[in-house]
Amino acid sequence: MTDDTHDTDETADDTHDTDETTDDFRSRVGTVGQKPETDEDLYGMTWEEAGDALLTADAVVLPTGSVEQHSVHLPLSVDTIRADHLSAELVAAAATADLRLLRLPVFSYGYSEHHLQFPGTVTLSQDTYRDAVVDIGASLAEHGVDRLILLNCHGGNREPLSLAVDRLGRDYDVTTHLIHWTDFACDRLEEAFGDDWGHAGDHETSVIELFRPALVRDEKAEPQDTRPFPQTTTYRYFDDLTEQGGLGDPTNADPELLAEIVEATTESILEQLRADIENGW
């Protein structure tokens, strides 16, 4: 669990963990500065254990992220870190909605063509991305899985994931729930940070300060220089929109508030999943 070179020895002097809510949250989900693990990680099971678990769990969760620039103060792994920690929270809290969820490793590579002008961004083509997600679902179907949850933490993945949901349902009889995490959090994020909580801004900086504080380059965090989104066309590349690569003002980050938003949002997602399943979907 020490494969991250940035946060091996800096967690002890982390200044963000004084709030009681945040401390509680961290002790439940995992240790700050580390990759989270849950008892329901398919990755940690033997094939015998997996065989039983896949047949008895209610659904399998595939967290989806990206390898993509997140301005000059955050690492390329932001969406993947979000997918990892937020899926761990979802799986750990699933029992409150009377669900048992298994968790796959994060699918880190995403569709990020619009960020390619920034070094380090890696993208799959939309077709490759869709096909890879379908292949993952089809593999699970071989083992008797009939319900998959895509917990998505990167906006660029939306369209290819929607197409994958269609194929998994029609071709493999796998009911696939597509959960864009921020869709369930956006009202709370707007209340906390205003309209401008987008890419690498207030919200995502708060998430990384909460889970992996040593990865935030505090001295580089500054209000982002942006121009307004076009209203009648679309931008081609993200450097058309922003100088540094982000939106909003990362200096407004508030990890304690974010911890509360994560707990409430996880509850909302589980409630909706429970309702859809009870309604026969």
> What are the residues binding Zn ion (CB under 5 A)?
78-79
Least distance CB 88 / Zn ion (angstroms):
18
Least distance CB 154 / Zn ion (angstroms):
6
Least distance CB 80 / Zn ion (angstroms):
9
Q: Is the dihedral of CA 104, 3, 117, 186 positive or negative?
A: positive
Least distance CB 211 / Zn ion (angstroms):
13
Q: Is 233 exposed, middle or buried (0-12, 13-18, 19+ CB in 10 A)?
A: exposed
The widest CA-to-CA distance across the chain, in whole angstroms, is 54
Pair of tokens at residue 8: 């091996």
Nearest to 269 by CA among 30, 55, 20, 61: 61
Name which of 79 and 256 has its Cβ closer to Zn ion: 79
Name which of 200 and 214 has its Cβ closer to Zn ion: 200
Give CA–CA dist 79/81, Å, rounded.
Answer: 5
Name which of 97 and 252 has its Cβ closer to Zn ion: 252
Tell me the residue number closest to Zn ion, measured at CB: 79
Q: Is the dihedral of CA 87, 88, 91, 92 positive or negative?
A: negative
Name which of 54 and 186 has its Cβ closer to Zn ion: 186
Determine the residue type at 273. Answer: L
Least distance CB 275 / Zn ion (angstroms):
28
Name which of 137 and 248 has its Cβ closer to Zn ion: 248
Give CA–CA dist 246/204, Å, rounded.
Answer: 10
Q: Where are the extended beta strands (E) located within 96-218?
A: 101-103, 147-152, 175-180
Region for residue 30 given its phi and psi (left: phi exceeds 0; alpha: psi -120 to 50; beta: otherwise):
left
Nearest to 218 by CA among 209, 230, 210, 226: 209
Name which of 205 and 266 has its Cβ closer to Zn ion: 205
Least distance CB 230 / Zn ion (angstroms):
20
Least distance CB 70 / Zn ion (angstroms):
6
Name which of 208 and 269 has its Cβ closer to Zn ion: 208
